[in-house]
Copies of this chain bind each other. A is one copy, B any other.
Amino acid sequence: MSDLPASISIKEEGPREGFQIEKKAIPTEQKIRLVDALSDTGLDYIQVTSFVHLEKVPGMADAEAVVAGMTPRPGVRYAGLWLNQRGLERAIATGRLYLEGKLTLYASDAFLKKNQNRTPDQQLAAQPELIRMYQAHGIPVRTGFVTAAFGCNFEGDVEPSRVVDLVAQMRSVARDMGEDLSLIGLGDTMAWATPERIRRVVGMVRDANPDVELSLHLHDTRGLGLANAYAGLQMGVRHFDAAVAGLGGCPFAAHAGAAGNICTEDFVLMCEEMGVATGVDLEKLIDCARLAEEIVGHPLPGKVKAGGSLSALRRRLS
């Protein structure tokens, strides 16, 4: 048998990832309803919204209202996403969010150019200012994230050594400013990973950084999300991002471009059935997945919400 971790931790990104891409407006009270339902599942980290440009992402214009309207549950960290100082300040102003500093580097130069119009050198040079921004607000910087760590639609395959280099650069910049990155996230942003590539990249990053925890952010665009997650578990990864019901992706052809995170409840079922504790009540999470589908009004990719859990079947039989 492989030696899987005894327990893992999941960052739920559904409310943020999912509602952002919906074409129709999702009422604020429906967003709050899903966040509150997720709070009751045992998930201890929920990314609830984005503090981004109101005109560019109109679906997130109610970020403050969502945070103000939710009922925080003790022990749950409610997080937000921001892309600049203005966004961070809006998140701080809510007074209700778990705030953490995060550095992000792109492993694909082409994607970096396309998305941020920066070179790798410019990207690296921008990090100290970001760290200073967090330090000015007393927010520790503990996480580093590598985007497109397994490949890129605009550049092709990404050399694992490039990822190892980027992690070293991030850690060095942070260390120079008195911060210690203790969690390194690897993002399969455009779904280029396979289980073997996960094993290879995770293995190399871990060998070079035995003192940090690793995290995987996996997209399921090509259907390999859970196979990749399993490979991560085999490599001892204990932190995963996921989205309830697979929010953020959609099996409809019309939404073909949408590449959701791995589906939280499908992943929880896989973990729990293999003896990897997630701390999540799967039946309550399945209810959340059905609620998410009801809210967006179209089928979402997760399968367990239709297929049902094995533990429920066992209970019925016993």
Interface of A toward B, CB cutoff 8 Å: 1-2, 4, 151, 153-157, 191-192, 194-197, 199-200, 220-224, 226-227, 229-231, 251-253, 256, 259, 263, 266, 269-270, 273-275, 293, 299, 301-304, 306-307, 310, 313-314, 317-318
Q: In the complex, how many angstroms separate the beta carbon of A20 from the nearest chain B beta carbon?
A: 19
How far is it, in angstroms, between the C-alpha of A226 and the C-alpha of B293 when the chains are bound? 24
Q: Which of B275, B304, B313 contacts A223 (CB 8 A)?
A: B304
Closest to A313 in B: B153
A2 with B222: in contact, given A194-B273, A313-B156 (CB under 8 Å)?
no
From known contacts A222-B266, A269-B222, infer whether A299 and B259 are also in contact, taking CB-CB under 8 Å: no
How far apart are the CA atoms of A65 and B119 in the complex, in Å? 61
The reply to whether B191 and A307 contact each other, CB–CB distance below 8 Å, is yes
Query: Which residues on B sit within 8 Å (CB–CB) of A310?
Result: 151, 192, 222
Q: When the two chains form the complex, which single residue of B226, B252, B274, B318 contacts A226, counting CB atoms closer than 8 Å? A: B226
**Extra pairs beyond A196-B274, A223-B304, A227-B227 (17, CB < 8 Å):** A1-B196, A2-B199, A156-B314, A157-B314, A195-B230, A195-B274, A197-B273, A197-B274, A222-B304, A223-B226, A223-B266, A223-B270, A224-B226, A227-B229, A227-B270, A253-B293, A253-B306
Q: Whole-angstrom distance between the alpha carbons of A237 and B274 in the complex?
A: 20
Given A192-B310, A196-B2, A227-B227, decide whether A155 and B317 contact each other with a Cβ distance below 8 A: yes
Shortest distance between the CB of A112 and any CB in chain B (Å): 15
Q: Which residues from chain B contact A251 at a C-beta distance below 8 Å?
A: 251, 299, 301, 303, 306
Some 8 contacts from A to B, beta carbons below 8 A apart, are: A156-B317, A194-B270, A222-B303, A222-B310, A223-B303, A223-B304, A230-B230, A253-B293
Q: Which of B194, B259, B313 contacts A274 (CB 8 A)?
A: B194
Shortest beta-carbon contacts, A-B, top 8: A223-B303, A223-B266, A256-B306, A221-B307, A251-B251, A227-B227, A196-B274, A226-B227
Q: Which of B194, B221, B274, B293 contacts A303 (CB 8 A)?
A: B221
A266-B273 Cα distance, complex, nearest whole Å = 24
- A259: B residues at CB distance < 8 A: 307
A304's nearest neighbour on chain B, judged by CB, is B222
Residue of B nearest to A259 (CB): B307
Q: How far, in whole Å, are A137 and B125 apart by their CA atoms in the complex?
A: 76
Q: How far is the CB of A181 from chain B (nearest CB, A)?
A: 27
- The CA of A274 and the CA of B222, in the complex, are separated in Å by 14
Nearest B residue (CB) for A194: B273
By the criterion CB–CB under 8 Å, are B253 and A222 in contact? no
Query: Max chain B CB contacts within 10 Å: which of A196, A200, A252, A304?
Result: A196
- Residues in B neighbouring A301, C-beta threshold 8 A: 251
CA–CA, A293 and B254, complex, Å: 13
Return chain B residues, CB-CB under 8 Å to A194: 270, 273-274
Give every chain B residue within 8 A of A200 (Cβ-Cβ). Answer: 1
Chain B: which residue is nearest A273 at the CB level? B194
State the CA gap A195–B293 with chains docked (Å).
Answer: 27
